[in-house]
Amino acid sequence: MTLQDRISAWLDGALPPEEAARLEAEAAADPTLAAKMQAAQEREEALSKAFDTLLEAPLPPGIMAVVSGSTQPGTRNEEASPTVAGAMAQEGPAAPAPEVTEAAPYPAHPGEAAFASNPPGGTAPRGEMPPDFAATNTNGRAFTPALIAAVLALLVVGAGGGALFTRGFLANEELADGHATRGWMEEIADYHRVYARQTAHLVEVPASETPHIEAWLGRETGVPLNVPDLSALGFTFQGARLLVAGGRPVAQLLYTDAEGGVMALCGLALEGGEPLPGFTAQSFGDDLEMVRWNPPGAAWVTVGKPDMALDAVARAAADNV
């Protein structure tokens, strides 16, 4: 491998750990190499940012018509007929769908089913599509991702909002103001199920603004915080959100693993309680797990899928957060 090949693989996290360490050691001793690697990293970031602007572009109504007019409830197992007529009418001729002899998209490899980025199948609550939704997309208006997000949010709130509120008051251990801790953890689980699906809009403030995140969330939650570097455990910091759970502001730091799976670190102020020793794990349904610890004046949880080694994450985070 040439040096450029090594840097390329290093940027992609594809070098074996010992080779990555060797390259980093070489860079530590060689300012020219270090500058080269840093420049390469900066180009990567600039490129990602540029490509991400495409995600905000309005979608042509023709495409939206195909999707949102596509199915009737309950026809999932039948051959749904795409409603392209409306799309054709506004968009002009479009290519006919070719016959694919063997599309076999994404063949199943049970052993390495590694695309872990939040299975869209879904743990998030489902709602009915608003009845007039299909009609709105044939009026020629462009659909912006923001509009899509709004529609999805409506669907989610419709089905899950009630549960979110009632669960908030399940009795267990109580916060100083009477909210049950079981409640805030349930609420964080609900948030996680929703946000882990928003791959295009995962965070409110991106990782590039880490100093701002630390100052802002520390101020809002009353819990001084550092964004822990969890890269040794395979998690990359993506950015943060401010949530409200149990009536309290909650700092949510979002990380992704190599497969795009989302893991969150959530912290909130918890006055009056004795700091609890150790780390406790708790399952939320089949799909989520949390590991919690209580430093003085605060409570922290790591939230993610049960296979994410959350206990190790919690211990690493507790030392650095």
256 interacts with another protein by CB under 8 A: yes
Residues 139-198 close enough to bind another protein by CB under 8 A = 144-145, 148, 151-152, 155, 197
Does residue number 89 form part of the binding site for another protein (CB under 8 A)?
A: no
Segment interacting with another protein (CB under 8 A) among 16-24, 42-50, 213-221, 288-296: 42-50
- C-beta closer to another protein: residue 108 or 171: 108
Number of residues that bind another protein (CB under 8 A): 94
As a dihedral over the C-alpha atoms of residue 18, residue 111, residue 236, residue 2, rounded to 10 degrees, the angle is: 40
**C-beta of residue 265 within 8 angstroms of C-beta of residue 228:** yes
Phi, psi of 11 (to 5 degrees): -60, -35
Quote the Cα angle for 121-125-131, to 5°. Answer: 95
Instruction: Give min distance, CB of 223 to another protein, in A.
Output: 29
- Residues within window 11-30 making contact with another protein, judged by CB under 8 A: 11-14
Within 10 Å of residue 56's Cβ, how many Cβ atoms?
11
Q: Which is nearer to another protein, 35 or 94 (CB)?
A: 94
- Alpha carbon of 242 to those of 170, 174, 187, 247, 264: distances in Å? 23, 22, 13, 12, 12
Distance CA 187, CA 39 (A): 41
Among residues 117, 257, 124, 244, which one has the least CA distance to residue 192?
A: 124
3 lines the binding site for another protein (CB under 8 A): no
Separation between Cα atoms, residue 43 and residue 38, nearest integer Å: 9
Structure tokens, 158: 């419709």
> Which conformational region is residue 96 in: left (phi greater than 0), alpha (psi within -120 to 50 degrees), or beta?
beta
Shortest Cβ distance from residue 162 to another protein (Å)?
18
State yes or no: residue 66 binds another protein (CB under 8 A): yes
- Closest distance of CB 23 from another protein, Å: 14
Using CB under 8 A, which of 21, 25, 30, 75 touches another protein?
75
Counting contacts by CB under 8 A, is residue 106 touching another protein?
yes
Q: How far apart are CB 36 and another protein at their closest, in Å?
A: 10
Question: Shortest approach of another protein to residue 228 CB, angstroms?
Answer: 20
Which of 222, 224, 260, 295: binder of another protein (CB under 8 A)?
A: 260
Shortest distance, CB of residue 12 to another protein, whole angstroms?
5
Sheet holding 288-293, edge to edge: 205-206, 236-245, 248-256, 262-269, 298-304, 288-293, 280-284
Q: Considering the rule CB under 8 A, would residue 32 count as an interface residue with another protein? A: no
Is residue 132 at the binding interface for another protein, with CB under 8 A as the rule? Answer: no
Is the CB of 8 or the CB of 280 nearer to another protein? 8
| Angle (nearest 5°) at CA 104 between 100 and 109 | 170
How near is the Cβ of 302 to another protein at its closest, in Å?
Answer: 21
221 binds another protein (CB under 8 A): no
Is 232 an interacting residue with respect to another protein (CB under 8 A)?
A: no
Tell the smallest beta-carbon distance from residue 205 to another protein (Å): 19
**Cα separation, 317 vs 227, whole angstroms:** 9
